[in-house]
Structures are given as structure tokens and as C-alpha cells.
Amino acid sequence: MSHVVIIGNGIAGITAARHIRKFSDKKITVISAETEYFFSRTALMYVFMGHMKLEHTQPYENWFWEKNRIELKQAYIDEIDFKNKTLFSTEGEEITYDQLILATGSVTNFRGWKGQELKGVQGLVSKQDLELLEENSANLTHAVIVGGGLIGVELAEMLHTRNIEVTMLVRENHFWGSVLPAEGGKLISDHIQQHGINLLFETELDEIIPDENNHVKAITTLDGKQIDCQLVGIATGVKPNISFLKKTELETEIGILVNRNLETNIPDVYAIGDCAQQREAIGNRKSVEAVWYTGRMMGETVAQTICGNPNAYNPGNWFNSAKFFDIEYQTYGWVFPKKKEGISDFYWEDKKNQRALHFQYKTDSKEFLGINAFGIRLRHEVVNAWLTEKLPIENVIQQLPKANFDKEFSKKFSKQVQKSFQQSQLQKA
């Protein structure tokens, strides 16, 4: 019986296991050093805030694995002999495979700052990071978070719920400036500040200063500020977790290089999820994407390939979602943070209720390119269809009520957006 071994039990690895079982009778082993069972990673913040327990984040009951004949093994693999198809764990165990799927996820991207190895410096990616945060937040009065992205705002909210003062160092002149255009970035910046978080814009970390016990005492910034703190949260992005593979014959750059079938340069070895890097980026997408749904899609794709139905990975139209304290955020298609030639913007904002929509479209053809939604939940199937059909922006504006979840609210706000759009077009004429 063919043996498929999967290293990593995140959304990518477990989706692959489930779909391989759906299509075949292969022996399946999933190896993870993080947890025994797969869990919902996005729920870590709610565990810290006391809204749920870690066991509540498991999407499947414990009996699921035995019933589906998926063996779960807790081990840390630190060496792979690709020639002999053998894995070696730190405990000395040897595991052979016929097909190997690398779904090793990502780790915090430390940038080489002086003092980053000190106690009290950490990221937030894994269950172990959550446990470390519990330890590091005891008797904590002030935390500094480096970076203004999704992990950063999660950390800020988590610590804020425990009455810990939080300062965020944001490199750009508004929150998440590498992703959000100025208008939406200002909306979110204001909202975060209203929740009592100190945002320092155009500010970068220089050095982390220790106390006599090798623990964080303070940080300094590139512009000479010193901020006393007992915890430094690193939220400057993540990188593929592939350090143990760097000196092997496996081809890597940022991540593990794969083709559209998610095959590596080594036969019978595949890579999926956060650790995989497309040899050629797909459209405007990054070659490495640490996104939940793309991990799931990669898991489905590689399962088809392994089970004899080669299937090219096709992530479709870009989308993502997040939450900034009380404001839900969705993005579909492409809304570029900086002005691009040949692309026009339409931005509508309800300042009172902290809602906004930011559209981008081709200036000449009026083709709808993308939307950022703040405080307004849109229907995926509707917006995705607009993008696929390359609908003109006028039609998108007209069809807004179809996309909104809240029917009561939809009619009122849609009329406001439509009126504002008409006025903007008259001004441009």
C-alpha cells in the first residue's frame, strides 16, 4: 500500500489528508511538532482573550482521525533523505514514505535587530507562541508591537483586553500602508487609536535593550526615541518554515519552489500552504501566500495529483478578510495601495458609523478591478462574479444591494454610494 506522509497539520496539510482519503485507500500519516490535533489558527487570539479554550478550536472530533484512517504523529522532523525516501525525527525515529507533502507553514520573520533574542521578544504564529505570550504578559504594563499588519493588530487587541498599554511602531504614514491606500488606512488608524492603542507612524525599530536578567527593558527607534516596555511583539510578517531544508537538494528561495501542480524538483515530493513558492507568480499574486483559503485550495489540488488526477493550482480571484477591533475588513480583486497609471479610484465613507468602500477600476474601459470593504460584509459569490465577468464599474455600483449581507441596511447605504459615485463621475467629466 502506498504511504503518503504529510509534514504539517495546518489547514493545507489536513485538507490534503482529507481529500487523499476521499479519493484513495493510501496509507496517510500526518506529522506535527506543534499540536497533536489540527486546530483553527485564527482562533488563537480568542483563546488568549478568554472567549474559548484551545480544545474548542478543533474543527473535528477526536474520533474523526481513526474513522478516516489518518494517523497523527507528534514529532519534529529535522532531516530528510530524499534519495531513500526517509524522514528522521529528533527523537531518532525513521519514517519512510512513497509520496511526501511538505506543509510546514510559516514562522515569524525576525529582521536581525540587536536584542531580538531577549526574553520577552516574540511573534504570534503557533500554539507555542500563544503559550509564550501567556508567560510574557504576566505582570506586564507596557508592550511595543513592531509592524502594522494583521498579526500586529491582533496582538494589540489581545494585550489591550488585559489592560496592558500598547504602542505600535508603523513604518508607513498610516496603518498597513503596504496594503491599504491612504483613505482606508486612515479610517483604520483612527479606529485603532480610539481603542487606546498608541500608533507611532513613520517609526522603525532600531534596537531592543536588555535589563540585568536578559529580559526586555526598552526599545529604541531609528529616530532616537526610547520607549520603556517589557514585551516586544514582532509583527513584521512571516516567512516559510524551511530552515531544515536549506542544505538539501530540494530547490528553495523564499519558500520551497513548486510548479502549478505543486511538485518540487524532487519526484514524489510536493509543497503546499505557507511554505510553498510558485516558480512563476500567478497574476498580481505574490509567489508565497500565507493565506488560509489558498492553503486549503493547495491541499485539494495536491490530493488530486497524488491520486492520479493531475490538477493545476488555480486560486482564482484574490480575496481576504480580517478584523481590526470592531471593523470587519474584506478585500476582493486588486486595490493597489499606491496610485497606478490607467487605474481610477472611487472611495465612499460613512464617517459616523465607520464604514467605507474603496473601488478601483480601469480608467479607459471602466472594468471593475477590486474593492476594499470596511464595516460592510459583502457576499463572496456576488463580488467574485463581478470580477470574473469583468463588469464595468457602473454596473457594480448599480448592483451593490445584491452584494450586501444586511438587507435592511443595504438599501439605504447603496443609495448613498450610488449618489456619491454619480457626483464623482460628473466631477471627472
Provide the H-helix boundaries in 329-375.
none
Write out pLDDT tens, residues 105-148. Answer: 999 999 999 999 999 999 999 999 999 999 999 989 999 999 98
- Grid cell digits, residue 229: 516596555
Confidence of residue 429 (pLDDT cuts 50, 70, 90): low
Q: What pTM value is reported for the model?
A: 0.95
Give the C-alpha distances (Å, rounded to integers) separating 36 from 108, 135, 144, 270, 335. Answer: 21, 22, 32, 22, 39
H-helix or E-strand spanning residue 418: helix 407-428
Closest CA to 136 of 229, 209, 235: 229
Q: Is the pLDDT of residue 410 over 70?
A: no
Domains and CATH numbers, the chain: 3-107+239-306 (3.50.50.60), 121-236 (3.50.50.60), 320-428 (3.30.390.30)
List Cβ neighbours of 192 (8 Å cut-off, separation of 6 or more). 153, 156, 168, 175, 199, 324, 325
Distance CA 215, CA 121 (A): 8
Task: Say what the pLDDT of residue 420 is.
Answer: 93
Tell me how many degrees the CA angle 405-406-411 measures, rounded to the nearest 5: 115
DSSP letter at 57? G
Q: What is the pLDDT, as a whole number, of residue 408?
A: 61
Per-residue pLDDT tens digits for 28-41: 999 999 988 888 88
User: Residue 288 and residue 104: Cα distance in Å, rounded?
Assistant: 13
Q: From start to end of 64-204, where are the E strands?
A: 70-74, 77-81, 86-89, 94-96, 99-102, 106-108, 121-122, 142-146, 165-170, 198-201
**DSSP class of 223:** T
Query: CA dihedral in degrees (162, 163, 167, 172; nearest 10)?
Result: 70
Question: How many of the other CB atoms lie within 10 Å of CB of 356?
Answer: 22
Length reported for the chain: 429
409 has pLDDT over 70: no
Whether the per-residue pLDDT at 70 is higher than 80: the answer is yes
Sorted by sequence, the CB contacts under 8 Å of residue 337 that are 6+ apart come out as: 177, 178, 179, 180, 181, 185
- Are 204 and 169 a contacting pair, CB within 8 Å? yes
**Residues 213-272: pLDDT tens digits?**
999 999 999 999 999 999 999 999 999 999 999 899 999 999 999 999 999 999 999 999
Q: Report whether pLDDT(343) > 70.
A: yes
Distances (CA, A) of 82 to 97, 245, 268, 298: 10, 11, 9, 22
Q: Which of these, 401, 421, 422, lies nearest to 411 by C-alpha position? A: 401
pLDDT in tens, 264-318: 999 999 999 999 999 999 999 999 999 999 999 999 999 999 999 998 999 999 9
Is 80 exceeded by the pLDDT of residue 406? Answer: no
What does the pLDDT look like over 80-110, one tens digit per residue?
999 999 999 999 999 999 999 999 999 999 9
Using pLDDT thresholds of 50, 70 and 90, give the confidence band for residue 54.
confident
DSSP codes joined into one string, 164-180:
-EEEEEESSSSTTTTTS
Question: pLDDT class for 200, splitting at 50, 70, 90?
Answer: very high
